[in-house]
Amino acid sequence: MALRFPYRPTLLAICCAASVGAHGADTALELDATAINAQATKPLRNAPVEEYAGGQVARGGQMGVLGNQDNMDVPFTMTSYTSKLIEDQQAEDVGDVLLNDPSVRQSVGFGNQSQVFVIRGLPLSGDDISYNGLYGVLPRQIISTDAVDRVEVFKGPNAFINGVSPTGGGLGGSVNLQPKRAGDMPTRRYTQDISTDGRIGEHLDIGQRFGADNRFGARLNLSQREGETAVDDQDQRSKLFVAGLDYQGDRFSVSTDFGYQKERVNHLRNSVQLGAGLTDIPRAPDASHNYGQDWTFTETEDTFGMVRGDWDLNDNWSAYLAGGIKHTRETGFYGTPTLTNAATGAATMGGSFIPHNEDNTTFMGGLNGKLQTGPVSHQLNLGASTIWTQQENAYVFYRGQPTNIYNTTPLPKPTAVTITGGEPGDPGVTGKTRNRSIAFSDTLGFFDDTLLVTAGVRRQQLRVENYLYDGTTSGGVANPANDGSRSALYDKGITTPVYGIVYKPTESVSLYANRIEGLSKGPTASANAINRGEAFPPGRTKQIEAGIKYDQGTFGANLAVFRIEKPSDGYLDSNTGFYLRDGEQVNRGIELSIFGEPLPGLRLLAGGTRLDSELKKTQNASTDGNHAIGVPTFQLNASVDWDVPGLEGVALNARMLRTGGQYADQANTLSLPTWNRFDAGARYRFKVQEKDITLRMNVENISDKNYWASANGGYLTQGEPRLVKLSGTIDF
């Protein structure tokens, strides 16, 4: 039975009840003030790294098998965005947060609303985002931030750091989310928000520590939003429930998180597929225009949970163990326009009904320790992880109808079936994956740890099974060969090393370099190939990176140069009839990030990335030397948050996003122009009857600019229209 979620009246009732309770508690504390001897809770062993001044960015984050690390001590780059930034910007999902990162740009999935993040020119899907270091736990497509304390972005491949991701994505970087925990001070927070298009939301956040020495903690987040989006006639409903519990002992801590999220979007505006024979990219339609149809929708329902324990074995050694599960039920009726004429906007739109079920089980554990051998220090890390995934799918595709992305008229819901696969009411198993790995690393410290040398290795056993759809039809004719049997199997081990060095000439400067690899699931030969069904081994992506980090105390900066070599999926050789695994994409770039509070009351988030991509070993060398699809030539971000002098509690903010051109086809004949976007906002913090109140207003895409934001995968993703968001928060 689906988990029921409280609606607005319930939320308001809970809020009022909690307020009364809190007032009563305040009264009791005041009466017994002289008898109170409370102790502040010790930091959790898995607690996040401290923040820079201004509170928007942390000094480090969780780096998989290496544990929580300060950025200055590791040969990698990571940016960790805090809950303060999430709240001040009214960031509703992970995509809203990652708009602040100059290494990241965004698109959507092929035919659906799933968020895709392009990091250093390579895509990362929501399936490959980790939760407190654990893969396979978080919801799919859209991930709410209402229960998230930090969003951590690791730059570069990370097969050693976290192991292979569930779908093999994240080769340019990865994202990890840290859940909210109860702090030393109780949390009683209610937020009401509304957008100019009438979408209304409520968020209740309650946290409390209790027991002897405040060893126990509980954090509860409830939220829901409903109404029209900034895109015409598109509406979205979301519900979230997350409960986090933790215990903090002297040498042992344990935390659990249980959650439920449901997202539904009606009247989808999907990406636009480019048809054959186009000689130009169409101009972007009006930013708010919806070229989708009212019969399209997507709905995802995720139930998830995890538990993690950390032990201090002695002063030098600690151990951890974590496990989690997730069940996903996803269904949708989709319609993606395929453009046929760039000048007129003429297109065709078919339809597809695709149910998807997914079950994941995941575990990880390890040891972290320190020892000294003469003048050399050692930081030793041993970790193991495993994840089981099972996917159930079915599909029904319908004949296309003519449409237009500029002058879109309603179309009847399609009924003419072209092909089917499986049973839509009871999808069968189409894939199973089991990834197991063990990792070991040693960081050697020389000259009082001013020189740190890291070497490590992860051995991964990958087992991938593909299954035929249980029953398929094409043009009404059944294919009895598709009977649900296993069609492909890959079960082999592969080893990925890591090397890194850090040199700290001063306390505020770190010079670093690394060589690290990533793994992606290998392709399966297509049905029209002689070797149909052959499962190829995982692709090995390699990165070389060097850079400098600066930490002045109140603010910091990172400068990095990198080269990433990623193997392509391959192609069907027209001469031999075999599917071949060949080809390579090379991304080279330079990346700068600046963050913190250089002046009191002035917070900065800025940076840029210059990217160059190149294709190698393409079919018949036809596109050798061309740029890869969907990789911008440059990305610039600049964000300022300013406390207005003389106006206590008032702050203004502004943000600029600028993205260079990118190609939409492998032949490099179709390209997107450079685009700019400007955002602005304000907030006011004050007290009423000793209650903290914060009012916020944020305007996204102030000029309501019409632009194509991404060409990832050869599909055009349009930028969001102007949106005004208003919210009020009370801490009671």
**pLDDT tens per residue, range 82-101:** 999 999 999 999 999 999 99
Task: Compute the distance between CA of residue 12 and CA of residue 732 in angstroms, rounded to an integer.
Answer: 13
**DSSP designation for 629:** B
H or E segment and range at residue 351: strand 346-353
Tokens of residue 183, six digits: 């702090």
Residue carrying the six token digits 């051998």: 373
pLDDT at 43: 52
What's the confidence (pLDDT) of residue 38? Answer: 39
Structure tokens given for 96: 């809203």
Under DSSP, is residue 714 helix (H, G, I), strand (E, B) or coil? helix
**Number of CB atoms found within 10 A of residue 371's CB:** 12
CA distance 606 to 655: 9
Query: Which of 240, 239, 232 has the alpha carbon at shortest distance from 198?
Result: 232
Q: Provide CB contacts within 8 A for 396, sequence distance 6+.
A: 352, 353, 354, 417, 419, 420, 421, 424
Specify whether the CB–CB gap between 141 and 93 falls below 8 A: no
What CA–CA distances, in Å, run from 86 to 93, 98, 150, 404, 720? 9, 10, 8, 37, 19
| pLDDT band of 535, cuts 50, 70, 90 | confident
pLDDT at 28 over 90: no
DSSP secondary structure code for residue 468 in this structure: -
Q: What is the pLDDT averaged over residues 427-454? A: 96
**Residue range 529-545: mean pLDDT, rounded:** 89
Joined together, the tokens standing for residue 138 give 């978080």
- The C-alpha R_g of the chain, in whole angstroms, comes to 26
Beta-ladder partners of 244: 219, 257
What number is the average pLDDT over the span 495-499? 95
Compute CA distances 499 → 74, 442, 461, 544, 547, whole Å: 11, 10, 21, 10, 14
Cβ–Cβ under 8 Å, residues 178 and 149: yes
Backbone angles phi, psi at 728, to 5 degrees: -135, 135
Q: What is the pLDDT of residues 631-666, one digit of tens each?
A: 999 999 999 999 999 999 999 999 999 999 999 999
Round to whole Å and give the CA distance between 297 and 420: 19
d(CA 509, CA 488): 51
pLDDT reading at 27 higher than 50: no
User: What percentage of the chain carries pLDDT values higher than 90?
Assistant: 84
- Asked whether residue 32 carries a pLDDT value surpassing 70, the answer given is no
Chain centroid to CA 179 = 14
Is it the case that residue 41 has pLDDT exceeding 70? no
What pLDDT score does 46 carry?
A: 54
Lowest model confidence (mean pLDDT) among 31-45, 95-109, 329-343, 397-411: 31-45
**pLDDT at res. 170:** 86
Residue 51 DSSP label: B
Whether 21 shows a pLDDT value over 50: the answer reads no
To the nearest whole number, what is the mean pLDDT of the chain?
Answer: 91
- Pairing assessment for the beta strands 671-672 and 115-119 based on DSSP bridges: unpaired
Sign of CA dihedral 104, 105, 111, 114: positive
Residues 603, 113: contact at Cβ < 8 Å?
A: no
C-alpha–C-alpha distance, residues 45 and 559, integer Å: 30
At 169 the pLDDT is 85
> What pLDDT score was predicted for residue 111?
78
The pLDDT of residue 48 is: 67
Check: CB of residue 617 under 8 Å from CB of residue 666: no
Per-residue CA distances from 564 to 181, 500, 618 (Å): 36, 16, 17
When pLDDT is cut at 50, 70 and 90, the band that residue 445 belongs to is very high
Return d(Cα 633, Cα 521) in angstroms, integer. 27
| CA dist., res. 83 & res. 70, Å (int) | 18
What confidence tier does 196 reach under pLDDT thresholds 50, 70, 90? confident
Task: Enter the tokens of residue 468.
Answer: 């035929």
What are the φ/ψ torsions at residue 472 (nearest 5 degrees)? -135, 155
Confidence (pLDDT) at 182 = 96
Residue 72 neighbours by CB distance under 10 Å: 19
Position 47 confidence tier, pLDDT thresholds 50, 70, 90: low
Give the tens place of pLDDT for each residue, 377-414: 999 999 999 999 999 999 999 999 999 999 999 999 99
What pLDDT is stored for residue 49 in this prediction? 83
Q: Around Cβ 269, how many Cβ atoms within 10 Å?
A: 27
